[in-house]
Structure 1
Amino acid sequence: MDRNKEWVMNEIEKIAHFGKGSRGITRLAFTETAVEAQKYVISLMEQVGLKIRMDQIGNIIGRLEGRDDSLPAVITGSHLDTVPEGGKYDGVTGVIGGLVAISRLKDKGGLAHPLELVIFACEESSRFGFATVGSKAMVGLANVSEWSKAKDQSGLSFAEAIAQNHLDIERIGEAARQAEEIKAFVELHIEQGRVLEKEQKTIGIVEAIAAPTRLKIRVEGVAAHSGSTPMEERRDALVSASMIVLAIHEIGAEQSKYGTVATVGMLNVHPGSINVIPGVVEMWVDIRGVNHESIIECLQDIKDAISTIAEGQEIGVSIMLLSAEKPVNMNKDIISLVKKVCMEKKVPHQVIHSQAGHDAMNLSHLAPAGMIFVPSQNGVSHNGEEHTAIDEIMSGIDVLTETLFQLAK
């Protein structure tokens, strides 16, 4: 086992201890656990000799100067926050892999362009309902008016949460960078699917990233006593909500031929008592795909189905559009470069789509962007069982290192 492989294995395990529970890792954005993980990785970045700064959304940026500091930076990185009971490879692979790549290039020396490693803040939507917050702010796409309304499940607002980290919601705009500052961005990440595993490929070269369209649906019936209200007189919000869940599933299945998926991931039932007919149900819907027309059709079909159900069940339904992002294509030149690197290194590879969103889709608005995938065992992600073999991670780091070198030399 070479030193780098052992080091990567050990560091992934050490980071996994921040927020580790019996069923997975919980490291929600801006929590004390997430901050402690950041501090630990900052110490690793400092050991490599990176100059560290934090921007006004909480992104951690480590910089290695090149021969000409006036040239735009070549950037890599990912995130450290997780979903509740998530895995130890999602995000972390790109952070540790990026650090190894920069360390190797520092030892090699002679690069013209600066290199940067970024730990993006609040990539996961689990705490506040908004994803890739840090990278949105970095490219000038911060939606401060919406973010300011967001609260976590404990009732703590987004503004209060970032204030606990000495950040001011009124200054988020200062995190935005200019296009001339960045030459390219390349993110290493686990696939979070089974394509590479099924095709027995080591590297996925991402061509397009599916973007989420997210809805909050509120179903309003009438809360009543479960024993004294006859079945024919009920306006049960949960029954109607269940019909909507099934309709969304069926619509997603119909659109799956275009690669589109639709998921109801969370429901809140009120008043939430065993002897009370539910009066209100809130649900959150996630629609994703790389075919924008299919996403629009899926959204319209869902609205039509909800209208039919609401009329038939005599209940009220409101739909709030939380986000509607278009699928993003990765830069063709970077795709070609990664292909060339894989061929030179004789690494089995293929072009692939990402069904999950990533920070790279936002960076693509500011600079040429690309993604390098390594396999996920059994396609499992956002789960304590998440696993990627260390040899596959090291292959990803090798490809990332050479890609960054070619961009920064």
Structure 2
Amino acid sequence: MVSYKRLEQNFQRLAMIGNQEGGGITRLAFSDKDWEAREVIIELMKQAGLTVRVDGFGNLIGRKNGVCPNQPVVMLGSHIDSVPNGGNYDGVVGVLGAIEALQCLEDTKEIHDHPIEVVVFMAEESSRFGVATLGSKAFCGKLSFEKLEQYKDKDGISLSQAIRQRGLVPENINKAQYEDPIKAFLELHIEQGKVLETTRKQIGIVTGIAAPTRLKVIITGQADHSGATPMHMRQDALTAAAEVILQVEQLARSVGHQGVVGTTGVIKADPGAINVIPGRVELGIDIRSISIDSKQWVVSELLAAMDRMKKQRNVGIEIITITDEVPVQLSKEMTVVLQEVCSKLPYQSMLMPSGAGHDAMHLASFAPTGIVFIPCKEGISHNPAEFASIDDVVAGTEILLSAVREIARKEFSWKK
């Protein structure tokens, strides 16, 4: 019942919105291109028989009432905003797949008991305001007006201003919190890694979502002449930073089997001249895991190593914690449902963790939550080369459709 042709056409329509000359797509949150893409989504929702509304943060919600409209809702969702020069599959797969599943129900006038909703969460990417999953945070009551004022883009426009520019009232952010009971939440997404492609599995059933601890590390030494300063008299901030970078890698590798990864993604050295010993270096470090204990061990060992390094290299080290989030374990009951659905369809599946964050992580404390992964070519994401085959998109959409059919039944009950 899932239409290859319809899905292809819908992906092509969105790919034209925010497309760049050299390839890639830019649809930053609350931008004109983001709003243009929303209009397409609203049109598709209405075609699928959904009643569309907008919450206090701008999240789009399309609803299809069932026989029992006052029962808890079965919810699907993802996002359509992108990183700068990104791809057309991250988030979009989950939105178009969810709408296609509801379109299938509309085409056949299929009866379901519980209401079903499709949510398009605003500002999932951190690219514009520096903080990810803002729409789902607001949806779950985790975003305050003070934060809307605090978060700003590179042009100094606050999130509060961006919301107001779209005709919304940021002071009403509390009205974005979803108040009704949710029976289940499902998100379809590209994997953004190589595991499914490497293992030749078409479907990944996610068991947990890794969470990051992000540190800004500022190392201060002494900027001196590179020729006139003997090696034993130097306070080289960059060589100290190199040791920190290698410590991040070494510690993460030492517990890598427990799903810990460590990355130093930002290096800013001053004064940045070839003949001057660097006197100040700023590092951006990301350590994440699905195990909070393993992640905390790596972070504590890294802090201890940096404390020793200060004395050994005679440098100052300031550590600022940008974020310290808790990993999310997804519902085992939902995992069982998805495994059973896959067993009835011709798709090879596997259980796996998610190293990337998703909107679903915030819904997990409100309702049984599941994420379905499909492969993306060579694991590439946040890149113009990001690609998922239509066959895999259809497979993931059929998983969504089958799961929704099951869960939206009045007689449905969760299995352990």
Structure 2 length normalisation: TM-score? 0.89
Q: 1:50 to 1:249 in 2, by over 3 A?
A: same
Q: Deviations over 1:110-151 (max 9, x none)?
A: 112111111111112222332211111211222654554333
Aligned residue number for residue 240 of structure 2: 240
Cα distance change on mapping 1:236 and 1:45 into 2, 3 Å:
farther
Please say if residues 144 and 174 of structure 2, whose CA atoms lie closer than 8 Å, have aligned partners that are also in contact. no
1:182 maps to 182
Q: Distance in 2 between matches of 1:59 and 1:287?
A: 30
Q: Map 1:99-118 to 2 at 5 A.
A: 99-108=99-108, 109-118=110-119
Secondary structure of the residue that 1:388 maps to in structure 2?
coil
Q: CA deviation at 1:315?
A: 2.9
| Per-residue deviation, 1:277 | 5.6
Which of 302-311 and 379-388 deviates more?
Answer: 302-311
Tell me: CA distance 1:166–1:286, structure 2 relative to 1, closer, same or farther (3 Å). Answer: farther
Instruction: Tell me which moved more, 293-302 or 100-109.
Output: 100-109
Q: Output the TM-score relative to the length of structure 1.
A: 0.91
Q: Partners of 2:89 and 2:62 in 1: how far apart?
A: 21
- Root-mean-square deviation (CA), in Å? 2.5
Establish whether residue 207 from structure 1 lines up as the match of residue 175 from structure 2.
no
Matches within 5 A, 1:181-330: 181-222=181-222, 235-270=235-270, 278-330=278-330
Distance 1:68 1:152 in 2: 44
Letter in 1 for 2:368: P
Shift of 1:93: 0.4
Instruction: Give, in whole Å, the separation in 2 of the partners of 1:150 and 1:38.
Output: 23
2:31 maps to a residue whose letter is T
Q: For residues 242-265 of structure 1, what are the alpha-carbon distances to aligned partners after superposition, in whole Å with 9 as ceiling and x for unaligned? A: 332232222222221211101122
Q: Is the 8 A contact 2:144 2:173 kept in 1?
A: no
Alignment of 1:1-400 (within 5 A): 4-21=3-20, 22-108=22-108, 109-142=110-143, 145-146=146-147, 148-178=149-179, 180-222=180-222, 235-270=235-270, 278-400=278-400
Q: 1:212 to 1:44 in 2, by over 3 A?
A: same
2:414 matched residue in structure 1? none
The CA deviation string for residues 143-190 of structure 1, in whole angstroms up to 9 with x for no partner, is: 654554333333333333333333444332221123x43111011111
Residue in structure 2 matched with residue 402 of structure 1 by the alignment: 402
Segments of structure 2 that go 5 or more residues without pairing to the other structure are 410-416
Using the TM superposition, name which of 272-281 and 25-34 deviates more: 272-281
1:148–1:169: 8 Å Cα contact kept in structure 2? Answer: no
Structure 1 residues 67-122: Cα deviation after superposition (integer angstroms, max 9, x where no partner): 22211211101111222322211111000000000111223321121111111111
Q: Deviations over 1:290-331 (max 9, x none)?
A: 111110011112212222333333333222222222221211
Identity level (%): 41
Separation in 2, partners of 1:198, 1:12: 25
Comparing 353-362 and 222-231, the one that deviates more: 222-231
Structure 1: unaligned runs, 5 residues or longer? none
Q: Could you give the per-residue CA deviations for residues 348-407 of structure 1, whole angstroms, max 9, x where no partner exists?
A: 112111111111111011111111111122222222212211111101111100101111
In the alignment of these two chains, the number of paired residues is 407
Q: What is the distance in 2 between the residues matched to 1:330 and 1:140?
A: 19
How far apart are the structure 2 equivalents of 1:406 and 1:129?
38
Are the counterparts in 2 of residues 139 and 365 from structure 1 also a CA contact under 8 Å? no
Assess, with a 3 A threshold, how the Cα gap between structure 1 residues 38 and 107 changes in structure 2: closer, same or farther: same
User: How has the CA–CA distance of structure 1 residues 39 and 353 changed in structure 2, closer, same or farther, with 3 Å as cutoff?
Assistant: same
For the residue of structure 2 that corresponds to 1:212, the secondary structure is strand
* Post-superposition offset of 1:205: 1.2
Shift of the 17–385 alpha-carbon distance from structure 1 to 2, 3 Å rule, reads same
Structure 2 CA distance for aligned equivalents of residues 229 and 18 of structure 1: 55
Match of 1:19, as an amino acid?
G
Task: Tell whether the 8 Å contact from 1:34 to 1:80 is kept in structure 2 after alignment.
Answer: yes
Letter of the structure 1 residue corresponding to residue 81 of structure 2: D
Tell which deviates more after alignment, 378-387 or 169-178. 169-178
CA 1:308–1:401: 2 relative to 1, 3 Å: same
CA 1:255–1:82 in 2, change beyond 3 Å: closer, same or farther?
Answer: farther
State the secondary structure of the residue aligned to 1:69.
Answer: coil
SS of 2:38's partner is helix
Q: One-letter code of the match for 1:189?
A: H
Query: Contact between 2:78 and 2:188, CA under 8 Å: does it hold in 1?
Result: yes
Distance of aligned partners of 1:208 and 1:3 in 2 relative to their CA distance in 1, 3 Å threshold: closer
Q: Which amino acid aligns with 1:337?
A: V
For residues 142 and 71 of structure 1, what CA distance do their matches in structure 2 show? Answer: 27
Q: CA deviation at 1:63?
A: 1.2
Equivalent-residue separation in structure 1 for 2:151 and 2:223 (angstroms): 27
CA distance in 1, matches of 2:256, 2:125: 24
Amino acid at match of 1:394: V
Cα distance change on mapping 1:100 and 1:281 into 2, 3 Å? same
Give, in whole Å, the separation in 2 of the partners of 1:35 and 1:230.
59
CA change 1:312–1:386 in 2 (3 A) is same
1:23 Cα shift? 4.8
Q: CA deviation at 1:25?
A: 2.2
Q: Is the alpha carbon distance of 1:284 and 1:35 closer, same or farther for their aligned partners in structure 2, counting shifts above 3 Å?
A: farther
Which amino acid is 1:110 matched to? I
